[in-house]
Amino acid sequence: MRRVQPFPAHHLRGGAVGQLMVPNPPSFHTVPMPAVNIPLKIVVVGDIHAKWGIVHKIMGYEFPHGGGLMLSVGDTYTYPKIPSSNRILFSPGNHENFPLLRKMHSQWGHNGQRYHPIFAGDVALAGGLAIAGMPGIFHEDFFDPRSNTPSKFFTRAMIRAMKQIDRGIDILLMHDAPSGIGFTKKGSEVGSRSLTGVLKHLNPQLAFFGHYHKGWQGHVNGTEVFGMEYPGRSYMVIERNPKRGKALRVIQKRAHPYPAKKNGGRVSLYGWQRDEPERWSRVVFEKG
């Protein structure tokens, strides 16, 4: 399998423009994970927006011994230190440090890299699962790429790169939403039909999108699709038992407002933050 080569130097300058796309899709990357003969757990979070406090708490609870894999639909803003045995795969959003993203992408697997941005045409292999990602958001003025295309927008060429992926994908991460699937914001349909085409082409078991910060669940062909809220509101846990092949189960964990200790306000807490680990958790998808 091909591995992506380091980007030439000119890709690392002027980082606010340029497509987040691998030169020769598909490009495959292996994510170090525990042995696949044990139950696999992956945590999925929505737009982070530099709110790393709750993300670190989630990571510490779900992966108390390290070795965990977290997926995000982007808008990370910053990339602080995390425990070295944990890793974060994410599909970049429209709020990122794009020069640093390109540097991280060129160093995939080097020097204990903990953050792995997934560009258009990438396939990450983790725990026996194949994960793809579609960065950016749609804007009709930049869909046909030109030299000054801002990196936060995806282009027609990036859509083509995604459709060159010719192996089975288990999980698809998108920042923007596919349209025509029943997802709306404030009563209006949002998203991109080009992403719907990518979704139908790859036909993964699971797909996740962010950007709109609204929880949603629907079914498109053979794919269960989830819209993700902020990590402080909810997150998903994907479980896979290797004895059941690639059958996946998704558990949603929600925070609930409780009276705050100070100022008489309210604070959102997960059940495990109140020593009630199963409270406000439910299985939202199970296959097989």
Per-residue pLDDT tens, the chain, 288 aa: give them.
333 333 333 332 334 788 999 988 899 988 876 655 566 899 999 999 999 999 999 999 999 988 899 999 999 999 998 876 899 999 999 999 999 999 999 888 776 678 999 999 999 998 889 999 999 999 999 999 777 889 999 999 999 999 999 879 999 999 999 999 999 988 899 999 999 999 999 999 999 999 999 999 999 998 999 999 999 999 999 998 777 777 899 999 999 988 877 777 788 999 999 999 888 999 999 986
In a domain, 80, yes or no: yes
Residue 148, in any domain of the structure: yes
In a domain, 114, yes or no: yes
Residues 6+ apart with CB under 8 A from 262: none
- Domain count of the chain? 1
**How far is CA 146 from each of CA 118, 156, 240, rounded to the nearest angstrom?**
22, 11, 42
Angle between helices 193-202 and 156-163 (to 10 degrees): 10
d(CA 214, CA 212) in angstroms, rounded, equals 5
Q: What is the pLDDT of residue 212?
A: 96
Q: Say which DSSP state 150 is in.
A: B
Asked whether the bond before 34 is cis by omega within 30 degrees of 0, the reply is no
> Is 4 within a domain?
no
In a domain, 1, yes or no: no
Q: Which domain holds residue 228?
A: 9-286
Q: d(Cα 216, Cα 202) in Å, to the nearest integer?
A: 20
The SS3 assignment for 116 reads: strand
Separation between Cα atoms, residue 256 and residue 58, nearest integer Å: 15
CATH label of the domain that carries residue 101: 3.60.21.10
Residue 265 lies in a domain: yes
Task: Give the residue from 268, 202, 258 showing the smallest Cα distance to 229.
Answer: 268
pLDDT recorded at residue 73: 98
Residue 17: inside a domain: yes
Question: Does residue 3 sit within a domain?
Answer: no
